[in-house]
Structure formats: C-alpha cells, structure tokens
A and B are shown apart, each in its own frame.
Chain A
Amino acid sequence: DAGVIQSPRHEVTEMGQEVTLRCKPISGHNSLFWYRQTMMRGLELLIYFNNNVPIDDSGMPEDRFSAKMPNASFSTLKIQPSEPRDSAVYFCASSLNGINEKLFFGSGTQLSVL
C-alpha cells in the first residue's frame, strides 16, 4: 500500500484566498484524522471521521475551517478565507478503526499564507 497520500506537498497563498488540502487514506482504514502542527502548539487534532462521518470537530479553530469526507477514499480540509496565522503543516492520518488505534500519517502539506 502507498500509505496515506496528501496533496499538495506545499501551498503558498495570499491572505483571503481559499485553500483546499486533500487526503487519500490507506485502503481499508475506516477512520481519518486531520492534524495541524506548529512550533507553538505542536500536533493538534482538528477533526476526525469514522466511516466517512465526522465524529469530533471540536479542534477546528473556527468557521473558516471545514472538512468533508464524501467517500472512504477521499477527504478535504478547506480554509476560507485563509489568514497568515493558518500557516502550519497539516497532516492527514488514518487508522484501521477508531481513534484509540495506530495512526498512519501522510507526509503533510506545508501551508504558507502571506
């Protein structure tokens, strides 16, 4: 298996623009997670899905952030409008089934909002 696949690897955008990050989880994994990593706050869970249904989105910073999982093999994280403080590395991860299981992370998207 190719592992968790994220795109793009790098995204540079201007404040106010819409940003869409994409993720393909490992085939057969039922749970998908979006994390944000910054020097100040470390690894933060933004939202997680189980069987394509959002279970916990309490980590989503504000209404500018939204996430979808239309099917078992694809998820998006959207920021609209983006702000400089959104600059971070965003990771997608998947697990076989549930939140208390081994997580497999993608390579991340380095987002820079100017």
Chain B
Amino acid sequence: GENVEQHPSTLSVQEGDSAVIKCTYSDSASNYFPWYKQELGKGPQLIIDIRSNVGEKKDQRIAVTLNKTAKHFSLHITETQPEDSAVYFCAASTTGNQFYFGTGTSLTVIP
C-alpha cells in the first residue's frame, strides 16, 4: 500500500512568519492529496486539497504544491496567526482507495 511520510513532526514559528510542511508518498498512482487541520479535542478538518492534474492551489493564506515527478507535496501557510496552531496531517489516495495519512506536524505559532 501507499506510504506517506511527513516532516517535520513539530514546528514553531513566530506570528507573521511562514510555515512549510512537507510530505512524500510512494505510490505513483496516487492522485488526491488533502490536508487536514486537527485542533485539540476535535476531529480533523479539511483545509485544502489538490488533485494530480494541478501543480499548485491557493486559498487565502494557505497553499499546496505538488511535484508528481518527485512524489512530494507541501503545505504553505503565510502570515501565520496564533489560531493556526494545531496538528496538520497530509494524506494521499488513489481512485477508489482509502486515504493514507502522514504522521502529523504539530505547529505552534508564537505570538
């Protein structure tokens, strides 16, 4: 099955700085790459996703980039705010198959 690796496991940034989280995957057939944000005591919430026919997608301060050749994708958060502090998970899947989640990145934004 798919193997998704996520780095770093923890990340601290100053408020206003950018944060970047990277994931690699093993199955070249993977074609859907969502990112989830999990706040303490809550379930993961989808924040952005990208499909394999697109190289980059933006939504306000959040962007995701995908490099299919290298089999990696990244989450970029600009102008970070304290409310961005959470655990972020990447995932990868192929059509008709389950998501394989990364191990998570705990992001702390220091005011």
Contacts and interface: CB of A to CB of B under 8 A. Distances in A.
B43 A99 contact: no
Contact of A103 (B46, B95, B103, B104): B46
Sorting the interface of chain B by its residue count into under 10, 10 to 19, 20 to 34 or 35 or more gives 20 to 34
Interface in A98-114: 98-100, 102-108
A4 B46 CA distance: 13
Contact of B101 (A42, A102, A107): A42
Contacts, number: 47
Nearest to B45: A105
Nearest to A106: B43
A35 to B, nearest CB: 9
A91 interface: yes
A100 B96 contact: yes
A56 interface: yes
Contact of B44 (A43, A45, A99): A43
B103 A42 contact: yes
A56 B98 contact: yes
A105 B43 contact: yes
B98 A107 contact: no
A45 B99 contact: yes
A80 to B, nearest CB: 25
Interface of A: 4, 42-43, 45, 48, 56, 91, 93, 98-100, 102-108
Closest 3 CB pairs of A and B: A105-B43, A43-B101, A45-B98
